[in-house]
Structure 1
Amino acid sequence: MTSGIHHVTLITGNVQANVDFYVGFLGLRLVKRTGGYEDPRQLHLFYGDRSGAPGSLITFLVWQDGSPGRSGAEQVGEISFSIGQASIGFWLERALRHQVKVEGTVQEFGETVLRLRDPDGVIIKLAAAGLPPLALPVSDIPPEHAISRLRGVTLLSETPEQTAAFITAHFGFRMLTRSGASQRLVADSGDSVDVRDASGFWPGAPGTGIADHVAFRAPDDAAVKAVERDLARLNSSLTNLHDRHYFTSLYVREPGGVLIELASDGPGFTLDEPEETLGQQLFVPPDAALDAQDIIATLPQFALPGEDRVVYRDLTHVHRFHTPAHPDGQTLLLLHGTGGNETDLMPLARRAAPNAVLLGLRGRSTESGVQRWFRGLAPHIFDQKDITFESGALDAFVTDAEREYGLDRDHLTALGYSNGANLLAAALLLHPGLVRRAILLRPVMVLDNTPQADLTGTDVLIILGETDAYRSGGETLADALRAAGATVTVKTLPAAHALSDQDNATIAAWLGKEAQ
């Protein structure tokens, strides 16, 4: 029976740093970039050898700028790769040169192991195991020192004996030896699983810098389904079978709580593209194909080592760029509604302005656990100090973005929806000159006292919903902006507070007119 580790899947909060580490530093190949099957708007990256062979793969779900998780029981705690037995010195020197955090060398089960931390804090071990190499990608690393394959994983379990028994019974591993609080299981391929006694550990929590699951190998989908039937007869844990296009997957939690996947070796990543071009094209799940361009607009962009890239700066707001293939010089600054994030308005903005650079911002306030731009004190009563402060922060962001990214206010249009539109409108009045063009979708007036402001030369499009309960608040805002000297166009659509395709068309027409 085919056995061993198929892949390990983790979560990263910084896609560019992740690519730089796994491709640039470790020398792996990016073999596939996809939208997630559970959520097509989540980027999923696969690294491995030249063909993305099982046993070489480490994959990452991208939670860009997401919150860190907590390492603990019921998780994959560490990942190791095999290197040559004389390569520890090479990798130690390389880590120091690349400013990678080094935790030193240790002996584990008779092997010398160099412990490192990736940019998210994940423990990556380079074990001088000398396993037979897979087909390595070409890189600046001499072949004799290159990573050859995955070596193994460490599972943190409060029931280590049950965990070990479960893995040996169903996934083709066998007990090898014990050392301290760990026992090592091995497969015929040489891959290892170290089960560490985590009794008394805090339970792990999902987030960036945490492993989601480990996947073991099966020769084909028939073998995967056979294991599913065996587990169903035992009624030991809930199982889920999925067609992941490139392999068939079965998910189950072992008795210690670690999520395990059984994945078939085939058909593999060359199913829909040749080996020579692996990793160059983004694939989305078939059921999301009609929305592919919208999905692409929401996914974080990155560059491989040596390619041009956006170097993100630490500004007042978490933010995200989307740069189209053929930018026309325009930039849309996007402010989401309540409960949204920096990518929420990118599909709408892309449809309205396909060749504009999109710059999405994340609101800095939270209320009832959801993201907002300013606090509310009670229904229809807004925190005026918070509005004033956050308006200043938005003005500071635009000023800093001019300096750090070369943002040009003459070619900048700000677009906000609902709570984001309300903050944008307040900022226009509190900081005249913030932007010269603004689009406000379903806004209301949130300032108790309208400041004296000169908005001469500022063009504003306000789009209201005919049956929106807040429509009158938008009309009041339009009057205040006109009184301040802005040129205001109000469009009322047959809609409520939610956005529709008519908003896209209305925005596109207004932008086209403004460009003339």
Structure 2
Amino acid sequence: MPTDIPGIHHVTAVGADPARNAAFYTETLGLRLVKRSVNQDDVSVYHLFYGDRTGSPGTSMTVFPYPDAAPGQVGQGQASAVAFLIPDGSVDFWIDRLASADVDAETTERFGDTVVRFSDPDGLPLELVARTDAPAGDPPERPVPAEHAIRGFFGVTLSLSDADRTATLLEAMGFETTGTEGRRRRYEADGDLGYVVDLSEDPDAPQGRPGAGTVHHVAFQVTRETHAEWRQVLIDHGLRPTDIIDRKWFESVYARTSGGVLFEYATEEPGYTVDEELAHLGERLVLPEWLEGRRDEIEADLPSLELHDTVRQE
């Protein structure tokens, strides 16, 4: 078996209006726009990447914002919530910050942690989980004070009608079960960020439907040295993984799990600074070299993306 997976690399969701999406994730949540590119499988659509100051693995929330996207339905066969990690003691700060942005939020307790639940402008369920062991991280300089800033991912919740085969795959990936609350099973990896996957098993839950406000896929961290081995693990579990695909900033293998959730296995290397200086990440449209010859055509088809100064931050 290859080395255990430490946690989530990135999560990719579907959105609608790209400027509204960027404003929410940068101005409200305080993440940095670290890459402005296009969906390599549909170049008429932006691919926006948000994260910490460098967009390091475990911090990167990415979105395909289709301007005319119809709302999706969160449900079975999807990641039904994306959770970010915040320091213990920051809950009141975030309740006030979200309220000032007219974002409805509520708090709950789960596995002993305080969880702030809310949605992004397209209805994607998001959570902030407060933990005493939240790492210092490398948050952007603004607009959220460093002592309260999002550190990266805490984890995801997967909504499934039958969780057993997904649980077996997670265990092969190095996740271990750490608790159960009702229909929710928790699995944790040995990492600092994105180390939690909750399996919510409910055969009566509505079937998920792709669209704005839903997760497209969940990506896990692997190394280039173990990539082919992880692909073989997926085959051994009866899945049909793609070949290794070069995405410029990482290399990826995709596989649809038995529960219907699309998993990606993305390399930590080379990262978002391979084609832009750290100080200027996300300031311009960046294309992989195999699309560069189509730049004029691609730029002409993309909607305007006017961003406020708070988006352009190091």
TM-score by length of 1: 0.57
Aligned residues: 304
1:119 maps to amino acid: P
Report the secondary structure of 1:225's partner residue: helix
Query: Are 2:82 and 2:155, in contact at CA under 8 Å, matched by a contact in 1?
Result: yes
Deviation at 1:56, TM superposition (A): 0.3
Counterparts of 1:231-270 in structure 2 under 5 Å? 231-232=234-235, 234=236, 236-240=238-242, 241-270=244-273
The answer on 1:188 being equivalent to 2:190 is yes
Task: Report the counterpart of residue 381 of structure 1 in structure 2.
Answer: none
Query: Are 1:101 and 1:118, in contact at CA under 8 Å, matched by a contact in 2?
Result: no
1:228 maps to amino acid: R
Deviation at 1:238, TM superposition (A): 1.2
Distance 1:194 1:5 in 2: 13
Task: Report the counterpart of residue 203 of structure 1 in structure 2.
Answer: 207
The answer on 1:217 being equivalent to 2:221 is yes
The answer on 1:273 being equivalent to 2:284 is no
The answer on 1:45 being equivalent to 2:45 is no
Task: Report the counterpart of residue 399 of structure 1 in structure 2.
Answer: none
1:23 maps to amino acid: T
Query: Are 1:23 and 1:304, in contact at CA under 8 Å, matched by a contact in 2?
Result: no
2:241 maps to amino acid: T
Residue 115 of structure 1 is aligned with which of 104, 108, 117? 117
Query: Are 2:143 and 2:310, in contact at CA under 8 Å, matched by a contact in 1?
Result: no
Query: Are 2:31 and 2:140, in contact at CA under 8 Å, matched by a contact in 1?
Result: yes
Task: Report the counterpart of residue 131 of structure 2 in structure 1.
Answer: 129
Deviation at 1:244, TM superposition (A): 0.8
Report the secondary structure of 1:42's partner residue: strand
Unmatched runs of 5 consecutive residues or more in structure 1: 309-516
Counterparts of 1:372-411 in structure 2 under 5 Å? none
Distance 1:153 1:117 in 2: 14
Report the secondary structure of 2:83's partner residue: strand
Residue 107 of structure 2 is aligned with which of 77, 102, 105? 105
2:215 maps to amino acid: A
Counterparts of 1:138-177 in structure 2 under 5 Å? 138-169=141-172, 171-177=173-179
Deviation at 1:293, TM superposition (A): 1.1
Task: Report the counterpart of residue 440 of structure 1 in structure 2.
Answer: none
Distance 1:161 1:300 in 2: 43
Query: Are 1:52 and 1:269, in contact at CA under 8 Å, matched by a contact in 2?
Result: yes
In structure 2, the CA distance between the partners of 1:21 and 1:161, relative to structure 1 (3 Å rule), is same
Residue 291 of structure 1 is aligned with which of 275, 289, 294? 294
Q: Spell out, residue by residue over 1:302-343, the C-alpha distance to the aligned partner (whole angstroms, 9 max, x if none).
A: 2333389xxxxxxxxxxxxxxxxxxxxxxxxxxxxxxxxxxx
Query: Are 1:23 and 1:305, in contact at CA under 8 Å, matched by a contact in 2?
Result: no
Distance 1:105 1:276 in 2: 36
Q: Spell out, residue by residue over 1:430-461, the C-alpha distance to the aligned partner (whole angstroms, 9 max, x if none).
A: xxxxxxxxxxxxxxxxxxxxxxxxxxxxxxxx
Task: Report the counterpart of residue 13 of structure 2 in structure 1.
Answer: 10
Q: Spell out, residue by residue over 1:228-257, the C-alpha distance to the aligned partner (whole angstroms, 9 max, x if none).
A: 12323x261111121111111110122211
Query: Are 1:46 and 1:58, in contact at CA under 8 Å, matched by a contact in 2?
Result: yes
Deviation at 1:174, TM superposition (A): 1.4
2:210 maps to amino acid: P
Task: Report the counterpart of residue 92 of structure 2 in structure 1.
Answer: 89
Counterparts of 1:316-355 in structure 2 under 5 Å? none
- Percent identical residues: 36
Q: Spell out, residue by residue over 1:24-79, the C-alpha distance to the aligned partner (whole angstroms, 9 max, x if none).
A: 00100000011111122221000000111000010001111211111110000000
RMSD: 1.5
* Structure index of larger Rg: 1
The answer on 1:21 being equivalent to 2:24 is yes
Query: Are 1:133 and 1:149, in contact at CA under 8 Å, matched by a contact in 2?
Result: no
Report the secondary structure of 1:128's partner residue: strand
1:18 maps to amino acid: N
Unmatched runs of 5 consecutive residues or more in structure 2: none
Task: Report the counterpart of residue 230 of structure 1 in structure 2.
Answer: 233
Query: Are 2:178 and 2:187, in contact at CA under 8 Å, matched by a contact in 1?
Result: yes
Deviation at 1:96, TM superposition (A): 1.0
1:244 maps to amino acid: R
The answer on 1:65 being equivalent to 2:68 is yes
Distance 1:231 1:5 in 2: 17
Structure 1 range deviating more: 195-204 or 43-52: 195-204
Query: Are 1:114 and 1:127, in contact at CA under 8 Å, matched by a contact in 2?
Result: yes
Query: Are 1:239 and 1:250, in contact at CA under 8 Å, matched by a contact in 2?
Result: yes
In structure 2, the CA distance between the partners of 1:307 and 1:94, relative to structure 1 (3 Å rule), is closer
Report the secondary structure of 2:42's partner residue: coil
Query: Are 2:11 and 2:62, in contact at CA under 8 Å, matched by a contact in 1?
Result: yes
2:108 maps to amino acid: V
